[in-house]
Amino acid sequence: MVKDNCKILDCTIRDGGLVNNWDFSVDFVRDLYQGLSDAGVEYMEIGYKNSPKLLKGADSGPWRFLDENFLRDVIPHKTATKLSALVDIGRVDENDILPREDSMLDLIRVACYIKDVEKGLELVQTFHDKGYETSLNIMALSHVLDHELVEAFEEIAKSPVDIVYVVDSYGSMDAKDIEFLVEKFKKHLPNKKLGIHTHNNMQLAFANTLTGLQHGVTYLDSSVYGMGRAAGNCPTELLLGLLKNTNYELRPVLDIIERHMLQIRKTWEWGYIIPYMVAGHLNEHPRVAMALRDSEDRDKFVDFYDKLTSPEVSAAGSKAD
Amino acid sequence: MVKDNCKILDCTIRDGGLVNNWDFSVDFVRDLYQGLSDAGVEYMEIGYKNSPKLLKGADSGPWRFLDENFLRDVIPHKTATKLSALVDIGRVDENDILPREDSMLDLIRVACYIKDVEKGLELVQTFHDKGYETSLNIMALSHVLDHELVEAFEEIAKSPVDIVYVVDSYGSMDAKDIEFLVEKFKKHLPNKKLGIHTHNNMQLAFANTLTGLQHGVTYLDSSVYGMGRAAGNCPTELLLGLLKNTNYELRPVLDIIERHMLQIRKTWEWGYIIPYMVAGHLNEHPRVAMALRDSEDRDKFVDFYDKLTSPEVSAAGSKAD
């Protein structure tokens, strides 16, 4: 019998925080941790472990700058569900990171663009030496040239990183793209575990995650009700319901959606929304679409499409990362 | 270069009519026809050609019981976009169907359950003899046993039907299911063109349609903004944007969404909604979920899940079709 041999990493608080500026109550996060635990989800990414000294955002909720003492109050009793945090290159103070045995966190994930892979791997080494599980998440793979990726693989293969992620930052990939990338990662990184992080601009986040799994990815990112930046992520509830011959339970996460997510979705917007579809289709960062949704022109889809597809102006009208 | 060799059949009015009891204005339908024409969509399914004598529904809009004189008023100038209508077994009066040369319609599609394939093929023969393109859409394939399907194929192969559809009525299928069915249809019906009609209960309608295309299906059903019964269908705009090396235009359909669909969606509900996800996950007809959404318990997801998964009661508590 076919068994889906995988681990789910729910990133509702971390990626969803990009939607609501991490405005999640402690009660909600506690409830979510219990729900994910009951559902059998292996990891909960509870926020960013960036440093407030290195990044503006004093108005953000506490999940953007995780503090160990705070975390201990939030989750006094850890279950089998491990905790993870994401850090960005140049925004994390290594001195903030306790040795794992003193920390609430189990996994630290390092997100970087291709040009910063070396810096990313230095951080990975630091966190690895402190005892953490580690991952490297190279963002915006759809904008990376093949030779850059192959060069990066050489460095990654030598590092102690446990998991390397295929990240579809712009929600622009289809099954063939995922298959191509996963096979390439497998070929160059035969000793690493692989993960996948998708966005739902073209309603392909869940399907692409399944494609990744079929080709050997074992760490699946998702968020409850798909809550994540712009079009959001692969919905956790779909993985819980659809993966074959696992011990996951759908019911506890339906309960979270019923009691919390419907209300959050009334206040904050994410999901399949036409400007995000257009951005995904055009393989663009969603920031211009997000700005549109924040303006009075939020539903002017044709104007937006014309702006992004006109050859006379820069597609985004914004600076590169 | 890979070229997606397919035809899109937009069924917004027909399947979307199941959402709003066919309450579409003539102006909207005209606008949609123009938009789909400008986008290069090959077929527009403009409604059902059932008979009001054989079916209750006097309060439904005119798109449920299409009349040729009415259609001529609605669309005085046909474009390259052909018109299609769906009929149900036992609900169509053959005498209502003009010879094709006198009709606005080009394609008549016959929908039936597996037990009625013979009756369906009789209708197909009648419409074929009147000069129409024809299709047979066997509904609820996820509830059909293999030997029933193989027996049906023998009859279908002998009939003049042009297109045979793989129909995921309950939105319960994933890529492997679609691949399995399409390969089976191809093996048994090598001389027929194949179509696919999906539902979006598990956010797989678009992905499953692409999987069908990849395996040789050429007729792709979709609806604008996904408007269709319960979780809705594969969104037309995603096909227009994502199919490779075609002459489709996305812009005219973005315009339809901006000017019409957002407003319609405010009044009428369809799409990825948890009870429909649960029904798809459990391979159930969405009718119980639709009834829930019409009740004051519409957001009681856990109760609904418990009811549908309890072994002590019949899953649906409703009669079979």
For residue A195, give the CATH number of its domain. 3.20.20.70
Least confident piece of the model among A106-115, A248-257, B310-319: B310-319
Q: Could you tell me which of B22, B94, B24 has the C-alpha nearest to residue B58? A: B22
pLDDT tens-digit series, residues A81-93? 999 999 999 999 9
What is the tally of structural domains in chain B?
2
On whether the CB atoms of residues A204 and B211 are closer than 8 A, the answer is: no
Q: Both B237 and B90 in a single domain? A: yes
**Smallest Cβ distance to A255: which of B235, B281, B302?**
B302
On whether the CB atoms of residues B97 and B49 are closer than 8 A, the answer is: yes
Q: How confident is the model at residue B312 (pLDDT cuts 50, 70, 90)?
A: low
- Rounded Cα distance between A132 and A99, Å, is 8
Residue A102 to residues A88, A106, A120: CA-CA distances in angstroms?
22, 10, 23
End-of-domain residue from the set B233, B248, B267: B267
- Rounded Cα distance between B228 and A105, Å, is 45
* Residue B321 domain-assigned (yes or no): no
Average pLDDT of the residues in A127-143: 96
Q: Both B244 and B302 in a single domain? A: no
pLDDT tens-digit series, residues A153-171? 999 999 999 999 999 999 9
Average per-residue pLDDT in chain A? Answer: 94
Residues in A whose CB is inside 8 Å of some CB of B read 174-175, 200, 202-208, 210-211, 235, 237-238, 241-242, 250-251, 254-255, 257-258, 262, 272, 274, 277-278, 281, 299-302, 305-306
* Residue A320 domain-assigned (yes or no): no
Q: Both B142 and B40 in a single domain? A: yes
* Residue A316 domain-assigned (yes or no): no
**Smallest Cβ distance to A277: which of B207, B237, B274?**
B237
Cα Rg of chain B (Å, integer): 19
Name which of B272, B273, B293, B310 to mutate to probe chain A: the one with the most chain A Cβ atoms within 10 A of its Cβ. B272
Per-residue model confidence (pLDDT) at position A311: 79
Q: Both A290 and A262 in a single domain? A: no
Shortest Cα distance from A142 to chain B (angstroms)?
Answer: 15
Q: Both B166 and B278 in a single domain? A: no
Angle, CA of B167, B171 and B174, to the nearest 5° = 90
Q: Both A73 and A137 in a single domain? A: yes
- Rounded Cα distance between A61 and A45, Å, is 15
Q: Both B259 and B297 in a single domain? A: no
* Pairwise CB contact (< 8 Å): B254 & A302: yes
On whether the CB atoms of residues B286 and B201 are closer than 8 A, the answer is: yes
Q: Both B144 and B253 in a single domain? A: yes
> Residue B145 is part of which domain span?
7-267
* Residue A283 domain-assigned (yes or no): yes
Shortest Cα distance from B204 to chain A (angstroms)?
Answer: 6
Q: Both B30 and B150 in a single domain? A: yes
Average pLDDT of the residues in B203-226: 97
CB atoms within 10 A of CB A154: 11
DSSP conformational letter for A261: I
Per-residue model confidence (pLDDT) at position A126: 97
Per-residue model confidence (pLDDT) at position A1: 54
Q: Is the Cα dihedral B239, B176, A142, B203 positive or negative?
A: positive
Q: Could you tell me which of B219, B227, B146 has the C-alpha nearest to residue B181? A: B146
* Residue B319 domain-assigned (yes or no): no
Answer whether residue A237 shows pLDDT above 50: yes
Overall size of chain B counted in residues? 321
* Residue B318 domain-assigned (yes or no): no
CB atoms within 10 A of CB A314: 10
* Pairwise CB contact (< 8 Å): A174 & B242: yes
* Residue B1 domain-assigned (yes or no): no
Answer whether residue A35 shows pLDDT above 90: yes
Which residues of chain A are within 8 Å of residue B281 when distances are taken between CB atoms?
241-242, 250
Per-residue model confidence (pLDDT) at position B319: 41
**Smallest Cβ distance to A254: which of B235, B250, B301?**
B301
Beta bridge partners of B163: B135, B193
Q: Both B168 and B98 in a single domain? A: yes
HEC string for chain B = CCCCCCEEEECHHHHHHHHHCCCCCHHHHHHHHHHHHHHCCCEEEEEEECCCCCCCCCCCCHHHECCHHHHHHHCCCCCCCEEEEEEECCCCCHHHCCCHHHCCCCEEEEEECHHHHHHHHHHHHHHHHCCCEEEEEECCHHHCCHHHHHHHHHHHHHCCCCEEEEECCCCCCCHHHHHHHHHHHHHHCCCCEEEEECCCCCCCHHHHHHHHHHCCCCEEEEEHHHCCCCCCCCEHHHHHHHCCCCCCCCHHHHHHHHHHHHHHHHHCCCCCCHHHHHHHHCCCCCHHHHHHHCCCCCCCHHHHHHHHHCCCCCCCCCCCC
Per-residue model confidence (pLDDT) at position A56: 83
Per-residue model confidence (pLDDT) at position B184: 96
Q: Both B245 and B284 in a single domain? A: no
Angle, CA of A112, A113 and A116, to the nearest 5° = 75
Average pLDDT of the residues in A290-299: 97
pLDDT tens-digit series, residues B75-109? 999 999 999 999 999 999 999 999 999 999 999 99
Q: Both A67 and A125 in a single domain? A: yes
